[in-house]
Amino acid sequence: MSSSATNDTIAAISTPPGRGGIGIVRISGAEAVAIAERLVRLQVPLAHARARVAKVHDPDSPDPKDGDEIRSIDEAVVTWFAGPNSYTAEDLVEIAAHGSPVVLNLLLRQALMLGARLAEPGEFTQRAFLSGRIDLTQAEAVHDLIEAQTVAQARLAASQMGGALSARVAPAKMALLELIALMEAGIDFAEDDLAVAPDAELLRRIDGIRPSLVTLEATFAHGRILHDGLTLAIVGRPNAGKSSLFNALLEKDRAIVTATPGTTRDLISERITLGGIPLELVDTAGLREATDEVERLGIVRSKEALADAAIVLVVIDSTTEPGGDDKQLIELVRDRVVLAAVNKSDLAAPQLEAAAQQSGDSLARWFEFLAEAGIRSLPTSATKGTGIAELREAVLELATGGAAAEPGMLTSIRHHQAITSALAGLDDAAGAIAGAIPHEMVLLDLYRSLWALDSLTGQTTPDDVLNLIFSTFCIGK
């Protein structure tokens, strides 16, 4: 965005499209107050952070010089936030009228006629970033909060908006700056043969910076899943109870369930929330030799869903015996993150008590078969609801690795790349010091690490990256 563009006064509708009780038109820039005062008739003059009742002008109202009173088309509440004490650090006016698209579009069109420019996507938040009011991680968190689908996602976004990620990076960045300053001083005094710090001290300082960044980098695995969610594919032989288990996890009858094998011919997907993580469940067609073209296509799609899924849930019919087809299925999922539900355990219940003495019962053989394949398994009964709670917990444990959400987690690839680049710079610097490389060259690696941390918060982020980030926002945000 050019500097001239940032000096424009911008306007946009900041509430979602459609009808509602309230709709907001937002105006930001040097002319925001002057434009707002021509759009409405205020009962009391505007004052910083004070709501004022006003009438929205009808643009077709006769000119008051003709002796006619100006007509209004709506009532509104107008709030002025004087810069720099506003979201954008500029004069910002919000006109909250009734949520009629006609009224809101009228206000916006009139604001544009009076000299404002239509805001680009994310431009209000971009101005907050460019003014230094928030850093880039906080700006990205605004978008994440708007897009949040679970309470856990909203909490994580709120912590990022409060600067949690920046706060976690700050100590490492400060220590890195101090190290760079020390080495710069050493170079400045090199002609005087003064050793500011021996190599052992420099390596000790680098070793002191790394742990917090390594810990932060490790949060990406959980943070990405919490931010983006994941897919769980339910696979198995026909009539194993995949659709029944799918419905049990959803807690509603979404998939058709019959006793006829091969009922499911196509993929069925639904999204649930599990421990704050968005989880897309995919019910697939039973894997077997197809009996017709439709089933064949369904099985092909099942294998595609299996390949794309982050977690695979294999559903086993415990009333059958492990066979060659089951071994093929296990081979198909062996290298995946997989969990097995040994289903219809209620039908095998009479055998449970004898399992300790009778190793030949089908249920025991299934658990033995899956254990030998290295697959964790749980007994379930989709129709009775037995084991469903334990299955949910097991899926959540696989998804998160047992880690809990924490403030300041890495949630995007951009964040992760910045931290990994910073760590790579530190590692290269340590290797250079150990190899007796001149300190001028070591400093290049340390600066590369510093620039990576700066890119996280936005100090050194290129304009094209900034424009890409803010283009994902809604207009008016």
CATH number of residue 52's parent domain:
3.30.1360.120
pLDDT for 256: 47
Give me 229's structure tokens.
């969610």
Same-domain check for residues 88 and 235: no
Same-domain check for residues 66 and 120: yes
Average pLDDT over residues 403-419: 88
* H/E segment holding residue 97: strand 92-99
Residue 355 sits in a domain whose CATH number is: 3.40.50.300
Q: Could you tell me the pLDDT band of residue 426, with boundaries at 50, 70 and 90?
A: very high
Is residue 283 a contact partner of residue 242, using CB atoms and an 8 Å limit?
Answer: yes
Q: Could you tell me the pLDDT band of residue 260, with boundaries at 50, 70 and 90?
A: very low
CA dihedral (16, 18, 22, 24) positive or negative: positive
- The DSSP bridge partners found for residue 117 are 10
- The DSSP bridge partners found for residue 338 are 312
Q: What is the DSSP secondary structure assignment for residue 472, as one 8-state letter?
A: T
pLDDT for 313: 87
Same-domain check for residues 379 and 424: no
Show Cβ contacts of residue 287 under 8 Å, excluding neighbours closer than 6 positions: 235, 236, 237, 238, 299, 302, 303, 329, 332
Q: Could you tell me the pLDDT band of residue 17, with boundaries at 50, 70 and 90?
A: confident
Same-domain check for residues 302 and 412: no
- The DSSP bridge partners found for residue 386 are 381
10 Å Cβ neighbour count for 19? 11
Same-domain check for residues 310 and 373: yes
Helices (H) and strands (E) in the chain, counts: 18, 13
Q: What is the DSSP secondary structure assignment for residue 197, as one 8-state letter?
A: S
Q: Is the per-residue pLDDT at 288 higher than 60?
A: no
- Rounded to whole angstroms, how far apart are CA atoms 235 and 356? 29
pTM of the complete model beyond 0.85? no
The fraction of the chain above a pLDDT of 70, given in percent, is: 83
Same-domain check for residues 413 and 356: no
pLDDT for 354: 44
Q: Angle 463-471/136-147 helices, nearest 10 degrees?
A: 20
Between 1 and 218, residue with greater pLDDT? 218
pLDDT for 225: 87
pLDDT for 299: 66
Mean pLDDT of the chain: 83
Q: How many domains does the chain have?
A: 3
Same-domain check for residues 441 and 326: no
Between 1 and 25, residue with greater pLDDT? 25
What phi-psi label fits residue 241: left (phi over 0), alpha (psi between -120 and 50 degrees) or beta? left
Amino acid at 186: G
**pLDDT tens per residue, range 436-477:** 888 889 899 999 999 999 999 888 777 877 888 888 888 888
Q: Is 390 a member of any domain?
A: yes
Average pLDDT over residues 330-349: 78
pLDDT for 236: 81
Amino acid at 92: L
Q: Could you tell me the pLDDT band of residue 396, with boundaries at 50, 70 and 90?
A: confident
Q: Could you tell me the pLDDT band of residue 371, with boundaries at 50, 70 and 90?
A: confident
Q: Is 267 a member of any domain?
A: yes
Tell me whether strands 277-283 and 268-274 are parallel, antiparallel or unpaired.
antiparallel
**pLDDT tens per residue, range 236-259:** 887 777 788 888 888 766 654 444
Same-domain check for residues 388 and 297: yes
pLDDT for 340: 86
**pLDDT tens per residue, range 55-103:** 998 877 665 555 456 688 899 999 999 999 999 999 999 999 999 999 9
Q: Could you tell me the pLDDT band of residue 54, with boundaries at 50, 70 and 90?
A: very high
Q: Could you tell me the pLDDT band of residue 46, with boundaries at 50, 70 and 90?
A: very high
Structural domain of 74 = 3-134
Average pLDDT over residues 194-215: 87
pLDDT for 69: 62
pLDDT for 356: 41
pLDDT for 257: 47
